[in-house]
Structures are given as structure tokens and as C-alpha cells.
Amino acid sequence: MTKLSVNVNKVATLRNARGGNNPDVLKVALDCEIFGAQGITVHPRPDERHIRRQDVYDLSKALHEEFNIEGYPSEDFCSLVCEVRPAQVTLVPDAPDQLTSNHGWDTHRHHEFLSSVVKRFKACGIRVSIFVDPSKEAVEWAQKAGADRVELYTEPYASNYAINREATIAPFVEAAEHCRKLGLGLNAGHDLSLENLAYFHRCIPWLDEVSIGHALIADALYLGLKETIPLYLKCLED
């Protein structure tokens, strides 16, 4: 079964735009669980432009489903993750001022650095996923770094889905099959939506998890969270 982890960064962005605590990130995350989400994802950036450090503490104490914290493994980030010990940490290569994730790690070039970070997190009992582009080389070096899973960066798939979905899914299937061959767990995320998720899952049904935030929250503005989350879960049915 492929789990749906809801990224609540956009909820925090909306809260921070006005100050105060409306919407309440913790309540939204807990409601997402009630409505069927099987995990919650956050990306605490150094400037706290959406998720704040305090959000991470609050969520870690209250969530019932898996908590996934993603981010660039700076010392501050690593210390925070090791302190709260979520079920999973996802390592992304984002610069501190980057608007959003737009590429995966060069896992070969950064092998030594990633290996040391992975070792640190695994010593705390945290499952480690590395954000990668859909290539066999990236997958192989992620495994060599000690990762438990990789997360495939799916924006290129989403951008080209309407043009030629068969062609655009091909490198993702190849990378996913290589993961399965190597015994690596497999996540996916970035710009997955109600339009393109079902086909992605149909082509790669052994996905462990998808992490979706922007599209899901945008859909919820019209449909409501209670109605939106089951629609995404339906896309992941076997």
C-alpha cells in the first residue's frame, strides 16, 4: 500500500502571512490524519517562512501517523531532527534562500557528506530518505550512502504529463525498478496532483509513500480537506 503524507507547509505560509495562529497548523495536521492522511510532512527552513521550529516540536508530540521532516542537513537541521526523532527524515539539497526544491542530490558527488549525515540519523533510529532525480546512478549512490529510501523528484513528470505521459514516466519507472532491485524503499513527491497521481501510481504501484502539499491544499480551498484527502487516497488504490 502506498501511503499519503500531507505536506502542511502551505498552511503555515497562510498563517504567517497575517500573524497569529489562523489557520492552526497543528489542528490542520491532526484533521488531515482524521480525514485519512497516513503521514504529515514539514520542511522547516532557516528563515521560518512557513514551518517554524516550534511547529516541529508541537507536531512531534501530537501526531499519531508518521512524521516526515525534510530539509537541507545543516547542523541546525540535524540537531532539530535528532532531538524530535521523527519516523523519517528526507534530505534535500536546497540552498537556504531557495523558493522550493527543484532538483535532487548529486549523490555521487556528495557521497561522503551524505554518508555521514545518514549515519548520524540512523544512529537515532530515524529512517532516512534522499531526494533524487530519476536516474539509476543517483539511486545507486543513495544506497551506498546508507539511505533506507529515496524520494523521486517528480516535477519533470508533472510538467510534461499532459504532453506525453508515457514518455515522461519512463525514467521514473526505470529508477523505481532499480530501487526495487537494490532493495531500497521508494517515495515520490513534488507537483503530484489529482490530475497525474493515479497514472504515476499505476505505473509504479510499489511506491511506499507520496508526499503532497501544494496541489492538495489548493484543491482543499475549493473542496475542503475532508473531501480532498479521500480523492488523493483513491488515486493510490491498488
Residues recognised as catalytic = 43, 70, 190
Beta bridge partners of 189: 153, 211
CB 185 within 8 A of CB 220: no
Q: Return the C-alpha torsion angle 57, 223, 156, 211, nearest 10.
A: 30
Neighbours of 160 (CB within 10 A): 14
Number of other CB atoms surrounding residue 180 within 10 Å: 13
Closest CA to 189 of 35, 24, 12, 42: 42
In sequence order, which residues have a C-beta less than 8 Å from that of residue 50 and are 6 or more positions away? 9, 10, 12, 13, 16, 43
Angle in degrees, CA 200, 5, 186, rounded to 5:
50
How far apart CA 32 and CA 227 sit, in angstroms, is 11
